[in-house]
Amino acid sequence: MKRALVIALFGLIAGSWAQDVENPRCDVELLLERTTVAPGEAFWVGVRFRIEPQWHIYWLNPGDSGIPTTLQWELPPGFAAGPIEWPTPLAFRSSGITSYGYANDVILLTKITVAADAAIGRSELAANVGWLICKENCMVGSAKVSRRVEVAEKTGPKGPESRWLESVAEKLPVSGKVAAGFTEDPTSISLDFRGVPDPAEIVSVKFFSQTSQVIDYSGEQKMTVREGEVQVSIPKSQFFEETPKVLKGVLYVRWKSGRSAAYAIEAKIPGGYE
């Protein structure tokens, strides 16, 4: 029953479907921090999506509907890819449904590590990219992007694309700065945050839940500040079944000064802090 409801919600926002096509409404390219790297070193790569206006792709947790964007790496021997480093998403609302994702221009970062015993010479990095892109209707897109990298005795200088990758990396949700705990009642989840700077100066907060089927993505998020702690109360999802052991997500904060920041949240102990 729950699965049927999810499918029904997805169909409502999707409207109509197209076949899997090469690059619908979105151009994709692979960016490199540097093109020459020594064995034992690591470097940033990024898959850049340039999305047509009014269309969007999806985050790790797409929300009420959607499919997460995927990267599948094809790497030479001695190369290893880390996880996708997801930027803070946006919220998209349509017909009472809220989804999480990205619009316009976004770069998904991954750290590539070269083994200490990697062979000297030229290698090719490739990624098979998959995404769902939506406006009134949705289309499934795919592309294979690749670049060549030289493994040499010494790491080369950063290339011109590094400034884009570094800019994205600087704005990624910060881990380990904000402690979080949560409690629940029959209708809501209450998240408590310690360590958010200048809590009295906060204008707004938004919690993007990475853990699915816990909160109502369209529900009002009510913030209170008490004794230096920030509390956010959010209605439960209609699909909520049991309290999660771990509640993960991103807390996005805006202050009166106009600055903003995002914090990676991992609340493991209901009612406590981790």
**Predicted local confidence at residue 18, as pLDDT:** 40
Q: pLDDT of 17-58, one tens digit each? A: 443 446 678 999 999 999 999 999 999 999 999 999 999 999
Q: How many angstroms separate the CA atoms of 162 and 200, rounded?
A: 36
Prediction pTM value: 0.89
CATH 3.30.230.70 fits 10-170, yes or no: no
**Could you say which of 3.30.70, 2.60.40, 2.30.40, 3.30.40 is the CATH number of the domain covering 179-267?**
2.60.40
H helices present in the chain, as ranges: 2-14, 162-170
User: Residue 15 — pLDDT band, cuts 50, 70, 90?
Assistant: very low
> What's the pLDDT band for 163 if we cut at 50, 70, 90?
very high
Query: Domain ranges in the chain?
Result: 10-170, 179-267
Q: Do domains 10-170 and 179-267 have the same CATH topology?
A: yes
Measured CA to CA, the distance from residue 22 to residue 29 in angstroms comes to: 13
User: How does pLDDT run across 91-149, given as a tens digit for each residue?
Assistant: 999 888 999 999 999 999 999 999 999 999 999 999 999 999 999 889 999 999 999 99
In the predicted structure, residue 220 carries a pLDDT above the cut 80? yes
Residue 4, both tokens = 């049927």
Q: So what's the pLDDT on residue 273?
A: 58
Distances (CA, A) of 198 to 57, 113, 201, 229: 33, 37, 5, 10
Considering the chain, what is the average pLDDT of its residues?
A: 90
- pLDDT of 16 reads 37
Q: How confident is the model at residue 272 (pLDDT cuts 50, 70, 90)?
A: low
pLDDT tens, residue by residue, 47-89:
999 999 999 999 999 999 999 999 999 999 999 999 999 999 9
- Cα–Cα distance between 88 and 90 in angstroms, integer? 7
In this prediction, residue 2 has a pLDDT band, given cuts at 50, 70 and 90, of very low
Q: For residue 22, what pLDDT is reported? A: 60
Q: Is the pLDDT at 1 greater than 50, yes or no?
A: no
| Residues ≥6 apart with Cβ < 8 Å to 259 | none
The whole-number pLDDT of residue 227 equals 84
pLDDT of residue 4: 35
Q: Is 112 helix (H, G, I), strand (E, B) or coil?
A: strand
User: What's the gap between Cα 39 and its chain centre?
Assistant: 29
